[in-house]
Structure 1
């Protein structure tokens, strides 16, 4: 049933990882299996055996052909550098080539104490497993690059966190699990050869168009390519109100995918200072800070690549700095592309940025729900009668009425009919997001061995842009008694 492994990372030098088999659990039970993703990966679903799959996805048995390992990496965590982190509760089973000839990692998260666990138990509570399953799949459905969830199991064991909680294991799929922190691991040891091997591996795997570049140019081009992907990724986060919560360098994937959905959340009332993560006490990773933080993380990546870019450090710094200087313009262009699409603007005009900022200011002043505002604008684009429903989202109304006039005038200069514009907007403005209270509702029920709310929410989130009759309640923000102000990572 399992696809054939095409092992790559285990063939890198031994100091890139620690060989480690998952630690068996007491009584695993398969509670979620992503058949669509499994088919994409090449699983033989006609011979699917739930009992055998449960053993594989819990770590009780190693799938045939796998060579499990824990990856080594370092990282800046909330600005402080740790030279040795690594997979403390995750095990890379290996890589497979999917139906589109893409190399994909398959990893177990919550698979037991590894050599990198740093005193931790290597386990995961069930809640973070289900949160990552829901949010990562929702991000994928919204067209945002992200790791994927293949399976989730309960372990039959309890994990000690704030209280004793049921344990779980997530099977995660990624283009790779290489991070900015992976480069930092070798740089911290002045291992130039290790950096070169890692960079070449990344280029071959994620940026093959750079293979023909000369050595120094190749690594400078790698920096530029990673920067472009990260600018585009964070712009997409901002477009759906996503707050990662822990944008450490060890949570920044070189592939440009969203990775590690610990205390993440989606903003409801628009506020650029919004924070949910219980460990982000200073607001370092607030919604509005995310574009600047990714630039900071890219600067840390740049530091690791300097010896590869030029043997003369001063020249290397000068050349790399020129790349970093382009970030602001790249992000600005990506963000404006996202926001223009959300407002139905296919053409570019000089005043578009000011138009977007004026709307965000009105939303902030009126405490308007981010997702519902943009979804309601889809209806307003098509009919003035929808304006009343939009106004109900704002309290007070100051600013939004005048802004609508500016927007309608701007739409009038587009070449498409208003119904075409509205349809275009509905294709990029989700009606359904993983609202925090709905996620918590699903997790609480799962802790009572009731997975129906999780399954329903999973199905709702798989079609974020569609109108779903009978499921309107899932579009609504939390009532005052349902609001979730803090999220937890589960480590």
Structure 2
């Protein structure tokens, strides 16, 4: 079956040259059992017409897509990992495989996870467990439904190998994931170039980032362009962090190699969704100091952006970069209001008053330990949901006098058109779709113990219902 007419290959990163990545060969797997095919996003990039055999060829054996990259590329980067600089990293179990334009004209990457060893694998086998692949799909789908700018889990194949892992019962099943995202250029990509004192390559990469992702700054030159692009990256990542907070999401590992230039959430390892508001809630068992806890995510992203600024100081004056860096706080505040109000379907008013209201909401959620997703489900459309909230499983919390300022704030920000919005079938349910860790473990147990994928498929359908309701 031919590729659709709207398939638009554009291998722009390959044109940067040999200083930025290494050609690698994909692993050969004993099996290719398709577990997830993202047909919605395949249609956006002109790959929806592929036959099953073609899908397997391109996304399990990694044959070259027509007109695309000549070879998979393991990208080079360094990074701060839990604030310790590590020059020994890079794409260790994945590669950039193709780039193409979507139906909005945006440049997107097809990148892998679990596709085999690279020069940066160190002592790793370059593989991904099937549980890890399932968790990537679940995280990306849930975040997308909640309005977070996230990578898309494009394809998942089970690959028939037995893997040994210290944090999973072993041997465990294997998989290879393909994700679709706007960019795989990390903060650590720039840090590596600064480490080797290559201002020439930093300028080249800034030119690439500006051309591909922030073209409105192409009329600027020299330090002015560097500063302008840095400012865009700051605002994009501030908005991303704000959307995580509204979603109750804990990424888990906010190292500088896990944050990118387009402010897109990606690389889901030990993630968690908060069951209740817990500022000190961590996702990674190895985050012993709570560095990347839920409530510290804004601090972590801001710190990582400062490290990017330090790398860019080889080609731009510190005063220009510092002037951009102070944009983080207001961009985060604006992003938080947008994400919280969007999830609650509220109307914005005075900015400072809205921020005070949101602080009151977070304080109450933490003090009451109300269900995080249940609160948003009960009070979508603010005052339009009073009767629904009275029937909630946690209605008693809303009847407490401590909730009165929240209710008044919700009612004051209630918009029009609520009846149609709340008439959607999803809002007739007493409880929302959630993705807490116990649910993830339950559906994984069904797969691991009896190869039962029904709970996984049911959860994806529930997420689709959530996405459709909030759209």
Q: Partner residue of 1:56? A: 58
* Length-normalised TM-score, structure 2: 0.89
After TM superposition, the structure 1 = structure 2 runs for residues 256-405 of structure 1, keeping only pairs within 5 Å, are: 256-309=263-316, 316-343=317-344, 344-348=346-350, 350-378=352-380, 381-382=383-384, 384-390=386-392, 392=394, 397=397, 401-405=400-404
2:200 to 193, 196, 205: 193
1:142 to partner: Cα distance: 2.5
State whether residues 187 and 195 of structure 1, in contact with CA within 8 Å, keep that contact through their aligned partners in structure 2. yes
For residue 152 of structure 1, give the secondary structure of its aligned residue in structure 2: strand
How far apart are 1:233 and its partner, in Å?
A: 0.9
**2-side partners of 1:349 and 1:256: how far apart?**
23
> Structure 1: which 5+ runs fail to align?
310-315, 469-491
Distance 1:467 1:104 in 2: 27
Deviations along 1:105-145, whole A, 9 cap, x unmatched?
Answer: 11221010111111110000001111111211222232211
- Rate the CA distance shift 1:12–1:341 in 2: closer, same or farther, 3 A: closer
- Are the structure 2 counterparts of residues 452 and 209 from structure 1 closer, same or farther at C-alpha, using a change threshold of 3 Å? same
| 1:61 Cα deviation from its structure 2 partner | 3.8
- Report the CA distance between 1:228 and its aligned residue: 0.6
Once the two structures are TM-superposed, the CA of residue 79 in structure 1 deviates from its matched residue by 0.7
**Which secondary structure state, in structure 2, belongs to the residue aligned with residue 151 of structure 1?**
strand
Deviation for aligned residue 1:265: 1.2
Q: Hey, what's the Cα distance between the residues in 2 that align with 1:257 and 1:349? A: 25
Q: Secondary structure at the match of 2:95?
A: strand
Q: Which segments of 5 or more consecutive residues in structure 2 lack a partner in the other structure?
A: none
Q: 1:10 aligns to what? A: 14
Q: How far 1:215 sits from its partner (Å)?
A: 1.3
Cα distance in 2, alignment partners of residues 384 and 155 from structure 1 = 50
In the alignment, what sits opposite 2:253? 246
How high is the TM-score relative to the length of structure 1? 0.86
| Gap change, CA 1:160 and 1:178, over 3 Å in 2 | same
**What SS is found at the alignment partner of 2:154?**
strand
Report the 3-state secondary structure (helix = DSSP H, G, I; strand = E; otherwise coil) of the residue aligned with 2:452: coil
Quick check: 1:106–1:171 contact (8 Å CA) kept in 2? yes
Cα distance, 1:94–1:348 mapped onto 2, change above 3 Å: same
Q: 1:159 offset after TM fit, Å?
A: 1.2
- Find the aligned partners of 1:391 and 1:23 in 2 and give their Cα distance: 50
2:405 paired residue number? 406
Aligned CA distance change for structure 1 residues 352 and 278 (closer, same or farther; 3 Å): same
CA RMSD, Structure 1 to Structure 2 (Å): 2.6
The equivalent residue for 2:150 is 146
Report if aligned partners of 2:382, 2:410 keep a CA contact under 8 Å in 1: no
Structure 1 residue runs of 4 or more that deviate by more than 6 Å after TM superposition: 424-427
Task: Indicate if the aligned counterparts of 1:241 and 1:370 stay in contact, CA closer than 8 A.
Answer: yes
Comparing 369-378 with 321-330, greater Cα deviation is found at 321-330
SS in 1 for 2:263: coil
